[in-house]
Structures are given as structure tokens and as C-alpha cells.
Amino acid sequence: MKKLGYFLFFVLCIGFVFIDMAPTFQEKVEIQTYDQYEKIKLADIGIPKNIKRKEIPKEQVFQGNLLLVNREFPVHPESEKSDIVNLFANKELTEGYGLLDGKIELSKDVALAFSKMIKAAEKEGVHHFLINSGYRGFDKQRELYLEMGPDFALPAGYSEHNLGLSLDVGSSQMKMSEAAEGKWIERNAWKYGFVLRYPKDKIDVTGIQYEPWHIRYVGLPHSAIMHKKNFVLEEYLDFLKKEKAASANVNGVEYTISYYLVSESMTIKVPQNNHYEISGNNIDGVIVTGY
């Protein structure tokens, strides 16, 4: 009855009907995460009952953690994270791993999430991590592209590194495709909001060769859903655009996710009594995540 009430409320207030997701979100499949007592499951759809309206500008489409950047959709000036810091100058952010040089920069929020992940890996005996590259400004990306060529670098504005959300992670022992660090990240990065952006089985989707070192921050619950459904970012954003609404339970935290097509400045609905985040997709819409 409660779920039915949520459904009717959603239809009346938002004005569209989403597709039944029973084959995926009602599987009740539990996946072990940090230990046998803490689990993640993808739940059936739930829409927050208490919502409020929020006006957003069209520019919101180009801001947030879920921006798709590739050869088709470039970085906009407003897309770069505003909290970029030099990691070498912030020692508290680099405990447990090394830096290739003292010039590496990254979003502070992403660096905090990465640090949390590294501490978890260290508890499992995996501790030879090294950040080789983080945020790159347009000038640096342009310089890299001219130096390495199109086979090894992307033009300025077409690399995720221009956002501040991506980093190249290495091992001080061996190349990531063989290192314990690479294997650990592939298995566990999603628990901390990261995804392996260019996996070997998705080259036809991303258009980028397998890069076991390149991880991208998207945040929870998105990384958990992408892991569960074996999605890369392109597939996940298509999924949200098609379904319009979803929910997930990650370690006891209930998340709701709604997609809105944005053409001009408009009003969207957000949870009234809960935390929420808004991210554009860098194409045509925004995703509201409540928790």
C-alpha cells in the first residue's frame, strides 16, 4: 500500500509514468560489500513523499559528478570542479599512497573519497598505490595531446581529467593490469563512489581502449548500480533517461534517483526533508539524488 501511494503521488506530481523495473530492481539480489554483515541490494522503486520545488538554470546540465565527457560531449568551462587542490600541498589527503610528482591536482572531495578507499585497501594488505595524474587544465591537456598524439591522449576539453573527477592510479610494484592494486580497484572501487571508467569489455561503448589505471568518481549510489548492472557511464545515463526514476539501498541508506530533461531554466522537485545532490549529464538533463 505504501509503495502504491508513492507511485500515485509521483504520477500526479511529476506528470509522467516510468517503466516498470521489476526485472532489475526487484531481484532482491544481495551483494556482500565490506563484510558479511554489511550488504547492498538494489531495491524496488520508491519516491520521496515530501518534496519541494527548486528552480535550476540550464547551466546545471553542465555541472556535477555525473557529467559524460567523451569525443562527442566536451567539458564546458563551468564543468570544472571548484574545489581543485594541489595534493602535495595537502599531506592529510595523501596518507597511504604516493604521488608521481608534486604538481598533481584533484577535487578535494574526490581526494577524500580516494583516501578512504586506500585505507580500506591497506587493511587488506594492498598498499602500493600511486597517483600518476589527476586534474588537468585545458592548457596542460593541449600540451599533452600535442606531445603524445591522438592515439594516447584526447584533445583539450574532451578528457575527463579536465573535470577534476578522474585520476590515473598506478602501483609502485608493477603495471596496473597485473598488480594487486589494479585487481583490488576493479573489485572494490564502486564501494567508495568510483568506477573503472574504461573496462576491457566496454571498448565498443566508450570508444577508449582498456585502461586499468583510470578511475572516475560518480558517487554513491551510482557506482553501486553501475557495478550491479555492469554499466559504464554512457549506459548508466541512458538507463536513467529511459527509466526516469529509480531507488537503491546501499548499506542501509535509501537513495532515490530522478531524471529531468532540461531545455531552459526550470523548476524541478527535490526531497524536502532529506539531503540531495543535483548533477547534469552534460547533454540534456539533470539527475536528482536524494538520501
Q: What is the Cα–Cα distance from 253 to 247, expressed in whole angstroms?
A: 10
- Residue 60 is classified by DSSP as G
- The set of catalytic residues is 211
Q: What is the Cα–Cα distance from 143 to 248, expressed in whole angstroms?
A: 42
HSE-CB at 21 with a 13 A cutoff on CA atoms is: 22
Residue 44 Cα distances to 9, 29, 68, 165, 233, angstroms: 16, 11, 26, 30, 22
Which residues sit opposite 99 in a β-bridge?
Answer: 131
Which residues have C-beta within 8 Å of that of residue 102, sequence separation ≥ 6?
A: 86, 88
Q: Alpha-carbon torsion 255, 259, 260, 262, what sign?
A: positive
